[in-house]
Amino acid sequence: MPPRERRHGLLIVNTGDGKGKSTAGFGVLLRAWGRGMTVGGFQFVKSAVNPYGEHLAAHAMGFELTPLGDGFTWLSEDLSADRRLAEEGWARCREALAEGRFDVLLLDELTYPLNYGWLDLSQVLADLTARPPGTHVIVTGRDAPPALIEAADLVTEMRVVKHPYREQGIGAQPGIEL
């Protein structure tokens, strides 16, 4: 592995309405973890109540994957609480970035608090830009804001071609989607 100062830290964005945005983020964490890099993630929508497959894997593999949400945007009846949760969450992300705690950091579903206006986009972009050289960041979520796309090095749109849940009424399969 090249030392951090010789790496080109990428800002990667996975967006679109299709599946695989977060999942590809976990795939990057797997690959980087395999190379001995320090990986981690913060999840802006997932709550800590029910562990998903990725949390069980992170625990077994020994990396940090922190759900910041309370299932907000779907469960909350108090929007100011959602905003506060999002802001507190971003403060943790900013600190982790500034400290250089991770070689690769996943910011899962960050687009939602940005699009709801709970986080200030220009502040988030400034914090991302100020991260230590060689730090790779992956942002996921639908409807990535244009300024985030502009700032990114690599942007992929995941587009639905066929979706079993919509078309066949099949429920979420444990281990695949959750």
What residue ranges bind its own copies (CB under 8 A)? 1-2, 7-8, 10, 12-16, 18-20, 22-37, 52-61, 103-104, 136, 149, 152-164, 168, 170-171, 173-178
Question: What is the per-residue DSSP string for 111-150?
Answer: HHHHHTTSS-HHHHHHHHHTSPTT-EEEEE-SS--HHHHH
Residue for token pair 């009846």: 77
Could you tell me the two tokens for 54? 């990725």
Residue number, 83 or 100, with CB nearest to its own copies: 100
Nearer to its own copies, 87 or 157 (CB): 157
**Minimum distance from CB of 141 to its own copies (Å)?**
14
To its own copies, the closest distance from the beta carbon of 89 in angstroms equals: 22
Instruction: Give the nearer residue to its own copies in terms of CB position, either 80 or 168.
Output: 168
**Distance of closest approach, residue 154 Cβ to its own copies, in angstroms:** 5
Shortest Cβ 133–its own copies spacing (Å): 13
Q: Count Cβ neighbours within 10 Å for each residue of 18-29 and write b for 16 or more, e otherwise.
A: ebebbebbbebb
What is the secondary structure of 1-36 as a DSSP string? ---GGGS---EEEEESSSS-HHHHHHHHHHHHHHTT
Nearer to its own copies, 22 or 111 (CB): 22
